[in-house]
């Protein structure tokens, strides 16, 4: 690094930023100072870029789907891959720009204040945020929400690795409670150009979850599985999300225990709800609706905000699945339970870990006494 960026230099206030770009281009030539003299080639940049790659299919499909939904609303038929994708890409690109410029800006600034290297955490959060918001969200709202989530959800705790809640979900929660009109109902999920309105007969842009009763069957299993339904940008396609899940599980970055637990919990409550006559929806359909799949694969498995212990991961996952479906079944005003389920369990993850670890310590002490 040039001398003027080092401590005492004129441009020291840019130190973290320069360092971030430098380490982005090169693996730095720093050597181990103590302890283990050799190190594994893995670093956080590598782990986190894999998460982004895993989410890429969902993002690409989401962009196409934005165009597709717009086409449906305009009364068009057909798949028009490139045309729809381009439409969606232009709609989603500003979301990405806002997400990264605002989020990374704050991240760089606070790293500089702390005098640390810039952590890669926001690379992933910033990629997720546009995928879990409605495509027509005003950009200033997104900017405010991102700023809130990064400052109060992450930096005040000490940055990446220290946060309690998932920053991406915190962004969505902020939007949801501050600007509910833009985050629910039937108007927000379809992108329109200025002055356009839906022309197709009986068209509704509500997400399948927001529709009542039998109307929910208006979108069948395969529509939901492939993802040709209205919804947040990246959450609709279960098959694209599954592709990501395979990569995350294979590399071991995401915990299979959390994913399985969440699916299991959702199936159980969904089945009970169905059997008790609370809902007509078969339990397996619950896995396809709304943000469940995206939340289970990409949000619940965030290693920072989920449980640390192996046993805790099961509890964490199961509770998320159960809570999500419970909210769906009993709260008609708020059809999507995944966001709150994960945020709530993020809050309780340290408590779950505490219980698991305490139980382990007690077991150990008993074993030692017996020995």
Is 40 buried (19+), middle (13-18) or exposed (0-12) by CB count in 10 A? exposed
Is 113 buried (19+), middle (13-18) or exposed (0-12) by CB count in 10 A? exposed
Of 208 and 312, the one with the shorter C-beta distance to another protein is: 312
C-alpha dist (Å) from residue 297 to 68, 241, 345: 24, 7, 15
Look at the alpha carbons of 351, 353, 354, 356 in this order and tell me if their dihedral is positive or negative.
positive
Q: Are 62 and 233 in contact (CB under 8 A)?
A: yes
Report the nearest approach of another protein to the CB of residue 256 (Å). 11
Site string for another protein, 137-176 (x = CB under 8 A): ---------------------xxxxx--------------
Of 4, 79, 139, 361, the residue at the interface with another protein (CB under 8 A) is 361
370 in contact with another protein (CB under 8 A):
no
Which one of the spans 21-29, 62-70, 264-272, 332-340 is the region binding another protein (CB under 8 A)? 21-29
Of 12, 18, 83, 117, the residue at the interface with another protein (CB under 8 A) is 117
Q: Rule CB under 8 A: which of 38-77 touch another protein?
A: 38-47, 49-50
Of 15 and 313, the one with the shorter C-beta distance to another protein is: 313
193 in contact with another protein (CB under 8 A):
no
121 in contact with another protein (CB under 8 A):
yes
Residue among 136, 123, 332, 344 nearest 232 (CA): 136
243 in contact with another protein (CB under 8 A):
no
Contact set with another protein (CB under 8 A): 23, 25-47, 49-50, 117, 119-121, 158-162, 250-253, 255, 303-304, 306-310, 313, 357, 360-361, 364, 367-369, 371
């Amino acid at each position: 690094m040039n001398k003027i960026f080092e401590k005492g230099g004129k441009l020291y206030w840019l130190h973290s930023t320069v360092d971030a770009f430098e380490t982005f281009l090169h693996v730095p030539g720093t050597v181990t100072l103590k302890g283990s003299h050799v190190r594994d080639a893995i670093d956080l940049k590598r782990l986190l870029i894999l998460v982004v790659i895993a989410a890429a299919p969902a993002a690409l499909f989401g962009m196409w789907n934005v165009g597709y939904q717009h086409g449906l609303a305009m009364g068009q038929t057909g798949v028009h891959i490139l045309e729809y994708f381009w439409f969606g890409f232009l709609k989603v690109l500003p979301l990405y720009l806002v997400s990264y410029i605002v989020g990374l800006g704050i991240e760089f600034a606070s790293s500089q204040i702390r005098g640390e290297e810039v952590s890669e955490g926001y690379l992933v959060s910033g990629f997720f945020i546009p995928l879990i918001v409605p495509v027509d969200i005003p950009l200033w709202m997104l900017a405010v929400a991102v700023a809130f989530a990064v400052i109060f959800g992450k930096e005040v705790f000490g940055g990446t690795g220290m946060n309690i809640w998932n920053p991406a979900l915190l962004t969505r929660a902020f939007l949801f409670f501050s600007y509910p009109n833009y985050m629910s109902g039937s108007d927000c999920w379809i992108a329109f150009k200025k002055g356009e309105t839906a022309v197709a007969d009986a068209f509704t842009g509500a997400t399948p979850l927001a529709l009542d009763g039998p109307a929910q069957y208006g979108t069948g299993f395969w529509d939901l599985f492939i993802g040709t339904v209205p919804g947040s940008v990246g959450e609709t396609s279960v098959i694209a999300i599954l592709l990501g899940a395979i990569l995350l599980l294979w590399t071991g970055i995401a915990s299979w225990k959390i994913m399985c637990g969440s699916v299991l919990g959702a199936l159980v409550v969904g089945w009970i709800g169905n059997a008790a006559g609370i809902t007509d929806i078969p339990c397996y359909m619950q896995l396809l609706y709304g943000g469940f799949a995206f939340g289970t694969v990409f949000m619940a498995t965030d290693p920072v905000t989920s449980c640390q212990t192996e046993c805790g991961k099961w509890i964490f996952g199961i509770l998320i699945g159960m809570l999500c479906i419970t909210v769906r079944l009993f709260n008609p005003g708020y059809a999507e339970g995944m966001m709150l389920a994960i945020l709530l369990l993020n809050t309780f993850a340290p408590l779950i870990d505490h219980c698991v670890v305490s139980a382990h310590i007690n077991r150990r002490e008993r074993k030692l006494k017996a020995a």
